Amino acid sequence: MEGLKFLVVSVVLALASSFASASDPSPLQDFCVAMKKPMVWACFKCLSHALFVNGKFCKDPQQVTEKDFFFSGFNVPRDTSSPVGSNVTAVNVAQIPGLNTLGISLARIDFAPYGGLNPPHTHPRATEILVVVEGTLYVGFVTSNLANGDNRLITKVLNPGDVFVFPVGLIHFQLNVGKTNAVALASLSSQNPGVITIANAVFGADPPINPNVLTKAFQVDKKVVDYLQKQFWTDNNN
């Protein structure tokens, strides 16, 4: 019986540990500036087999400079002439190496006048908090399936100074409903939140998803699926 109790406790602790490590790690030092390869020359084979799981090797703290924590040009308007009428400027660990292990990143979203859209998408590793700087946005997210099986849509029209939260992993969007350009700034709770744009991922996957899967999933004629898979799905994330 004692052995069984120990086994149950061990399983529970293992599960708790796996859940606890499902988000960005807490830093155990002041910073860990990301670098592509460690300065270890004695083990070239080790480098070729290095595994990255949303993390990087740390730069020698003595070699760190202000450039590792700096990004310029966030105030510059972006081109919104894409088919969806928006442009996302991400500032994550790829742009600021010093964000590594700090669990945060930023994005600027520029929207073309009336109709500029940041299409339905998800961030698999981050909650997003968005503040409108200019213009008027209609925003929303869809819940995971509730007890009754529904996916509830939660929406709000935002004006300059308004703030809205998109919970981690949920499908969300922003649409410019004003007659002028719109700008929003977003903070995300991951150094590398990732982005999955739903239409791009489903109909623009490489190689393509079997049309029979999509025909049945969306309950439409196969010609509709064929048409959508032949479209050029642009990415508005820079």
* Per-residue model confidence as pLDDT tens digits over 192-219: 899 999 999 999 999 999 999 999 999 9
Handedness of CA 214, 215, 220, 222 (dihedral sign): positive
Whether pLDDT at 15 is above 50: no
Which pLDDT belongs to residue 141?
98
- The CATH number that domain 25-194 falls under is 2.60.120.10
Q: 185: part of which helix (H) or strand (E)?
A: strand 182-188
DSSP percent split of the chain into helix, strand, coil, nearest 5: 25, 25, 50
Which pLDDT belongs to residue 9?
37
Question: Which residue intervals of 76-221 are DSSP H helices?
Answer: 198-203, 211-218
Residue predicted with more confidence, 22 or 57: 57
Burial of 28 (0-12, 13-18, 19+ CB in 10 A): exposed
Name the nearest CA neighbour of 92 among 75, 78, 74, 77. Answer: 74
Residue predicted with more confidence, 98 or 56: 98
Residues 208 and 201 sit within 8 Å (Cβ to Cβ): no
Q: In the beta sheet, which residues pair with residue 86?
A: 111
Q: What is the pTM of this model?
A: 0.82
Domain positions in the chain are: 25-194, 197-238
**200-218 core/surface letters (b: 16 or more CB in 10 A; e: else):** bebbbeeeebeeeebbeee
Strands 182-188 and 105-111: antiparallel
Residue that has been written with the tokens 């500036």 in this structure: 33
CA–CA gap between residue 219 and residue 173 (Å, rounded): 23
- Which parts of 56-136 are beta strand (E)? 57-58, 86-91, 105-111, 117-122, 128-134
* Per-residue model confidence as pLDDT tens digits over 71-80: 999 999 999 9
